[in-house]
Amino acid sequence: NCIGGVHLELANNCTVKRNVFTKNNQGIRLYSPCTYNTLTENIVLNNTYDGMIDDTMNGNSTFQGNTLFHNDFINNTYPFILKGVGFTWYASYPLGGNYWDRHDVPDQKRGPYQNETGSDGIVDTAYVIDSSNVDLYPLVKPFNSLPVHNLNTGKGYATVQEAIDAPETLNGHNLSVDEGEYHE
């Protein structure tokens, strides 16, 4: 119930990880200058806006090297208000980007260009935030809802066996499994 769930301004080399931002005006707020910040594995839920990125504060328009990935944007009324560039909205393929509940597109292709046969947990078309900001690898399912993660690929799975059987899981990869009971 605040203006923003997280507010970064004059922020450099910060990591914002594993938070829930809910029932705010904006889930994530970044004001320039902000450089080399990472926002990952956060849940942005039930806010008026996904967030706001504004480069007009204090007359300084410096955004550079900021990365937002593996965040879940769920049930927010409006998308980001964006007035700035200098953001990467995904990790490299096949790690993926963010989950956007308003981006309901199928996953029938795979590969860095989403042009190969077969699904990979990444939506087939990029999520356009604005003309300068694009999530090339939006996720099919919320990142934080999946209890099993391959730490080497960054992919999430519903079961331990699914993670083991996944074609991208290789010998020697490490899996992280949330606390709980698993009957498989």
Confidence class of residue 55 from pLDDT cuts 50, 70 and 90?
A: confident
Tell me: the pLDDT tens digits for 166-183?
888 999 999 989 887 777
Tell me: the pLDDT tens digits for 28-43?
998 888 899 999 999 9
Task: Please tell me the predicted confidence (pLDDT) of residue 5.
Answer: 92
Confidence class of residue 58 from pLDDT cuts 50, 70 and 90?
A: low
Task: With a cut of 70, say whether residue 107 has pLDDT above it.
Answer: yes
Separation CA 27–CA 71 (nearest Å): 11
Task: With a cut of 60, say whether residue 106 has pLDDT above it.
Answer: yes
Cβ atoms of 53 and 89 closer than 8 Å:
no
Tell me: the pLDDT tens digits for 71-98?
999 999 999 988 888 899 999 888 899 9
